[in-house]
Amino acid sequence: MRLFNKDLRLQDVTLMYLTVLATLVVILVASYQVDPAASPSRGGSTPTSTSTPVQLPYHMPLDPRGHLHLSWNISYPLQELYLEVRCSEMKHGLVLGMSDRGELTNADLVVLWDDGHQSFFGDAWSDSQGHVSLDSQQDYQLMDTRQTPEGFSLLFKRPFSTCDPRDYIIEEGTVHLIYGVLDQPIRSLQQLNLSQIETGVQRALLLRPDTPPPSLPRDVQTLEVRTPDVTIPTQETTYWCHIFQLPPNMPKNHIVMYESVVTPGNEAIVHHMEVFECSPEMSTVPQYSGSCDSKMKPASLNYCRHVLAAWAMGAKSFYYPTDAGLPLGGPASSRFLRLEVHYHNPLLISGRKDNSGVRLYHTPSLRRYDAGIMELGLVYTPVMAIPPREQNFHLTGFCTSKCTQTALPPGGINIFASQLHTHLAGRGVRTVLVRGGREVKVVQEDKHFSTHYQIIRMLRKMVTVLPGDVLLTKCTYNTEDRSQPTVGGFGIMEEMCVNYVHYYPRTQLELCKSNIDPGYLQKYFSFINRFQGGDACSCGQTSVTDQFSSLSWDSFSGEVLNSLYNTAPISMACNQSSAKLFPGDWERQELPVVTSQLQRPRYPCEGGKLPSQSSEPTVVQPDRVEEV
Ligand SMILES: *[C@@H]1O[C@H](CO)[C@@H](O)[C@H](O)[C@H]1NC(C)=O
Ligand SMILES: *[C@@H]1O[C@H](CO)[C@@H](O)[C@H](O)[C@H]1NC(C)=O
Ligand SMILES: *[C@@H]1O[C@H](CO)[C@@H](O)[C@H](O)[C@H]1NC(C)=O
């Protein structure tokens, strides 16, 4: 929308801009150091109850000391979030921000600061150089400030999307939160240099399903898989591995829920935890409790890879749908579980004891269906590679219609949760359901995915996959900092593109993944080699990894590889849990065709009805002013 006439002079526009800016400026906050009781919050009558456990059900520590704490709630009907930051030692203000991957530049910020006399609250942003400015459109609305027994509390709200191009769009998936503490007054926001104050990054899933948790069966029992009194190592990152044994002769049960058990005081250090089931083929697994990276770690622990539970900081309890449960115990499963705890201890706190873990809620009264886990995406193979110095390179794994037709029951399956996985170069993952050539439903999407934040996410709505449907899993990678190509594989510098979907009823289909037909990739190598004038083509004699490394990478070889991946036939891994392919021909399959893509959902701020605060201020968005 353009509200300025072409013939308005720049001076007028600038003047109007400054006037409006001055009137909305920042909202004055009563000095939080002097008399918090007198704070005139613009939101007016917020309830004066002391704590807000019900209204703000989600919370997590922000900094490793645990001095800053974030709580929030979500309203899907209003498309907005209430956020509360609590600070146990408030000095001269604080910053909360969101940016693509946790950078301090190009960030959407909300700042509380004082200039030595007065305190201010404002919606701000940082540019690519880190200069901080007040936003011309104030989208964070201050609701309340108060002093509580736990410290200073700042409550504000914000829509998911504000339509201000400088603001971050809060979507499902990972949000990189940045926080900062001001320990000196600043004369104005322009004086704020985020690189000179104490800051940090915390990842969170801000948007969650809003369905109330189902009730648990009466005969539910609990099993705590916890570390035995570990002294948290004095190093930034530790992955602690602990082998846990189920009681002998435990019959088959269903896990119906699980939650984290974090040792009090360590909430800001216990970063994430996973419980894996060992391979049922191994009759015994040696007792071990130590670093997962230790040379002393028994090799057989590598066969404990089947995920039973995964929790990360800020996550709530995980519930199975009421008619399904995840099998635990019984003859078909292993008695051995591996607990992995990631301790994040950047402050090198020493001597801290921990026995955190996961509490599994299980029932011997089996539910109607077994839940299962299926792997979608790409096969771990070097034929799927990412050229070096790419900002956004996509690889797509297919679960074809032929495979779902072969392996799924007539009523289909219901996906209720999903865990995305890539290695370090992964930036985004999206799994979409395609029916009759049309995208019909996004199963899970994360535009700010980080390998450091893997968590099983419950879907807001279950997705039913019918025989004949196609599932596409597309991963986005950034290799700008790499000079060599990145091939698919298990190594941390190799890549993966996986979505572990949790579904029921369980089927024999364990993997539904693809990779390019290797023969077509060889045609690519010989074409590029010839094009680049290299007559010494070692095609076929060296490994695919070496073939990729010996190409000289420019935008041409990169683009041709990209088009090859988008057109060449694939081989399908339509595999059963017995690690055998389903009967059928799975080589040189045609790529599924997608004729129509899903439209992005519209936000209330887009078109038509504009929220009240934009009636005047929207006129003065600086980027529009420049256009005049
Ligand atoms: C979120 O919290 C605010 C403030 O406590 C409350 O007024 C609001 O009703 C809550 N909204 C939801 C959806 O829980
Ligand atoms: C902020 O401070 C850093 C380091 O002190 C400096 O390199 C940078 O140029 C400053 N940024 C701005 C926008 O002033
Ligand atoms: C699928 O099964 C085939 C046949 O047993 C096996 O060779 C292949 O490695 C399996 N694929 C994957 C990705 O595990």
| Residues 144-172, mean pLDDT to the nearest whole number | 92
Among residues of the chain, what percentage have pLDDT more than 70? 87
Confidence of residue 622 (pLDDT cuts 50, 70, 90): very low
Identify the residue with better confidence: 624 or 134. Answer: 134
Catalytic residue among 131, 239, 344, 394: 239
Kindly report the protein residue whose alpha carbon is nearest to atom 3 of ligand 2.
195
Q: Which domains does the chain carry? A: 10-208+611-624 (2.60.40.1210), 221-364 (2.60.120.310), 378-576 (2.60.120.230)
Kindly report the protein residue whose alpha carbon is nearest to atom 6 of ligand 2.
195
| Residues 447-453, mean pLDDT to the nearest whole number | 93
| Residues 25-44, mean pLDDT to the nearest whole number | 41
State yes or no: pLDDT of 159 exceeds 80: yes
The atom number, within ligand 3, closest to the CA of 575 reads 1
How does strand 498-504 pair with strand 372-378? antiparallel
Q: Is 376 helix (H, G, I), strand (E, B) or coil?
A: strand
| Residues 329-348, mean pLDDT to the nearest whole number | 93
Closest CA to 196 of 252, 130, 262: 130
Sign of the dihedral through C-alpha 488, 477, 61, 197: positive
Is residue 239 among the annotated active site residues? yes
Output the pLDDT for position 366. Answer: 97
Closest CA to 123 of 81, 168, 153, 76: 168
The atom number, within ligand 1, closest to the CA of 74 reads 13
Locate 206 and state its tokens: 């801000």
Query: Ligand 2 in contact with 129 (CB < 6 A)?
Result: yes
Mutate to test the pocket of ligand 1, among 50, 71, 72, 73 (most ligand atoms within 8 A of CB): 73
List, for residues 263-300, the tens digit of each pLDDT value: 999 999 998 899 999 988 888 999 999 999 888 889 88
Cα-to-centroid distance, 336 and ligand 1 (Å): 43
Cα-to-centroid distance, 580 and ligand 3 (Å): 6
Confidence of residue 28 (pLDDT cuts 50, 70, 90): low
List, for residues 533-590, the tens digit of each pLDDT value: 765 555 557 899 999 999 999 999 999 999 999 999 999 999 998 778 999 999 999 9
Output the pLDDT for position 154. Answer: 93
Cα-to-centroid distance, 301 and ligand 3 (Å): 22
List, for residues 110-126, the tens digit of each pLDDT value: 999 988 888 889 999 99
Specify which residues 133 forms β-bridges with: 125
Sign of the dihedral through C-alpha 314, 317, 323, 329: positive
In angstroms, the first-to-last Cα distance of the chain is: 13
CA separation, residue 201 to residues 84, 96, 104, 146 (Å): 17, 10, 9, 25
State yes or no: pLDDT of 17 exceeds 90: no
State yes or no: pLDDT of 613 exceeds 60: no
Per mean pLDDT, which of 382-386, 595-599, 605-609 is the most reliable? 382-386
**What residues contact 400, with CB distance under 8 A and at least 6 apart?**
470, 512, 514, 570, 572, 574, 589, 592
Is residue 272 among the annotated active site residues? no
Interatomic CA distance for residues 590 and 189, integer angstroms = 57
Identify the residue with better confidence: 307 or 352. Answer: 352
Kindly report the protein residue whose alpha carbon is nearest to atom 14 of ligand 1.
55
Confidence of residue 338 (pLDDT cuts 50, 70, 90): very high
Per mean pLDDT, which of 31-40, 189-198, 432-441 is the most reliable? 432-441
State yes or no: pLDDT of 619 exceeds 50: no
For all residues of the chain together, what is the average pLDDT? 87
Q: Is 550 helix (H, G, I), strand (E, B) or coil?
A: helix
Mutate to test the pocket of ligand 3, among 378, 399, 581, 585 (most ligand atoms within 8 A of CB): 581
Output the pLDDT for position 535. Answer: 59
Query: Ligand 3 in contact with 573 (CB < 6 A)?
Result: yes
State yes or no: pLDDT of 507 exceeds 50: yes
Buried-state track 483-515, b at ≥16 Cβ within 10 A, e below 16: eebbbbbeeeebbbbbbbbbbbbbbebbbbbbb
Task: Supply the pTM of this predicted model.
Answer: 0.86
**What residues contact 235, with CB distance under 8 A and at least 6 apart?**
345, 348
How does strand 230-231 pair with strand 353-354? antiparallel
State yes or no: pLDDT of 11 exceeds 80: no
Query: Ligand 2 in contact with 196 (CB < 6 A)?
Result: yes
CB 561 within 8 A of CB 555: no
Among residues of the chain, what percentage have pLDDT more than 90? 69
Instruction: State the Cα angle at 197 between 196 and 200, rounded to 5°.
Output: 115
Query: Ligand 2 in contact with 23 (CB < 6 A)?
Result: no
- State the ligand closest to the CA atom of 581: 3
Output the pLDDT for position 131. Answer: 93
Kindly report the protein residue whose alpha carbon is nearest to atom 14 of ligand 3.
579
State yes or no: pLDDT of 486 exceeds 60: yes
Confidence of residue 16 (pLDDT cuts 50, 70, 90): very low
Output the pLDDT for position 610. Answer: 46
List, for residues 365-382, the tens digit of each pLDDT value: 999 999 999 999 999 999
State yes or no: pLDDT of 38 exceeds 50: no
